[in-house]
Amino acid sequence: MIEKLGTVFKQFEKEISLLTNKADILNLKAKYIGKKGEVSEVLQGLKDLILEERQKVGPVANEIKDKIQNIIQDKLNKAEIEEINDGLKQNRVDVTRVESAFVNNHEHGGLHPITLIQQEVENIFLSMGFEVLDGPHIENEHNNFIALNIPADHPARDMQDTFWFHSPSGDVEKKALLRTHTSCVQIRGMKERRPPFRFIAPGKVFRCERTDASHEMVFHQTEGMLVGENISVTNLIYFMKVLLSEIFKKDVEVRLRPGFFPFVEPGFELDIKCLICGGTGCSVCKQVGWVELLPCGMVHPSVLQMSGIDPAKYNGFAFGLGLDRLVMMRYGIDDIRHFHSGDLRFVSQFKSY
């Protein structure tokens, strides 16, 4: 019987060496060690043997069964790995090809129109030697108001409804708020520099206002400041004209009107001739022919003084460009609320790749 088991095992080895397919291997398993398998039958027959024989044949039969079991398992593992590799070869995704299924079915993202205009403004000023500064959205009362010549009881505070944070102390350097304009970055910029210097500071600003077609609680400005010796209103107008003709890709006509801002003296409202109607009057310019676009002025001597710059020696100009208004003018957008609507039909019109 032991001899027979030996022959059966040899036969098994021969047969299994020819197989690679999972189903064939499982069939072979059934043939040898399945319920009615050749080896299993020997094991079942043990009970009919006399004790002595059983003790001899039993262990050999069990050993062969285990061996077969192990070889089969080994072979099955290999077949499985082979199967996975074959599948990978056939369904390979070439991620370097744009046409591949996943990439092709995806919408491309793009930059928000405000981000695009901000980048454009930054590039124009960088080319004119300005630095681009960044300031925090959460500011203190000193930088946002006091150092800009707006003390606590100043009526100009009413022009900018402010989101205040609860502050335990009355210290104006610690009293926190959401910045109402980017002018506060002037203070940060001046503290770290000595004249001459020129910088812009783009970013979000916040006001506690009721929203409508031309007002939002969150909007965007780019502050600009240039300080040196003998700076004049002519210099201010020159830079503003360059900026606007670069943005609108044509020469724009500008005019200055007096404007009141505590941190500049004199202060101006810079208007541009309406680009929609060319100055004859339309709904965008409210039939006036001019659109108010850029508040600006000559930096107030007290503002320089409070930041440690000698106003007897230095002067300069500052401006606050509203980015939302600029995009609206350029594309004829009639409602500021589109910008934060999250409506893809709106933002996808400005995609750039």
Applying CB under 6 A, which residues contact ligand DAH?
Answer: 181, 183, 223, 261, 264, 267, 295-297, 318-320
Name the closest residue to ligand DAH (Cβ).
320
The smaller minimum CB distance to ligand DAH, of residues 243 and 296, is found at 296
The smaller minimum CB distance to ligand DAH, of residues 38 and 223, is found at 223
- Calpha distance 229→281 (Å, rounded): 40
Q: Chain centroid to CA 111: how far?
A: 9
- Calpha distance 66→184 (Å, rounded): 82
Look at strands 218-228 and 254-258 and give their pairing. Answer: unpaired
The smaller minimum CB distance to ligand DAH, of residues 107 and 158, is found at 158
- Calpha distance 93→70 (Å, rounded): 36
The smaller minimum CB distance to ligand DAH, of residues 160 and 338, is found at 160
CB of 221 to ligand DAH, least distance (A): 6
CB of 169 to ligand DAH, least distance (A): 26
Alpha helices in the chain (DSSP H): 2-17, 22-33, 38-45, 51-90, 101-104, 113-127, 141-144, 184-191, 233-248, 301-306, 323-331, 344-347
Residue (of 208, 189, 207) closest to 198 by Cα position:
189
CB of 195 to ligand DAH, least distance (A): 17
> DSSP label at 251?
-
- Calpha distance 40→3 (Å, rounded): 16
CB of 322 to ligand DAH, least distance (A): 8
Coil vs helix vs strand at 167:
coil
The smaller minimum CB distance to ligand DAH, of residues 28 and 124, is found at 124
CB of 233 to ligand DAH, least distance (A): 12
Residue (of 171, 166, 169) closest to 142 by Cα position:
171
Question: Rounded to 5 degrees, what angle do the CA atoms 322, 295, 352 make?
Answer: 25
CB of 341 to ligand DAH, least distance (A): 23
CB of 203 to ligand DAH, least distance (A): 12
The smaller minimum CB distance to ligand DAH, of residues 38 and 269, is found at 269
The smaller minimum CB distance to ligand DAH, of residues 9 and 199, is found at 199
The smaller minimum CB distance to ligand DAH, of residues 203 and 297, is found at 297
CB of 297 to ligand DAH, least distance (A): 4
Contact 137, 175 (CB under 8 A): no
Cβ count within 10 A of residue 242: 14
- Calpha distance 95→34 (Å, rounded): 46
The smaller minimum CB distance to ligand DAH, of residues 135 and 320, is found at 320
CB of 187 to ligand DAH, least distance (A): 12
- Calpha distance 90→94 (Å, rounded): 12
Question: Rounded to 5 degrees, what angle do the CA atoms 346, 349, 350 make?
Answer: 110
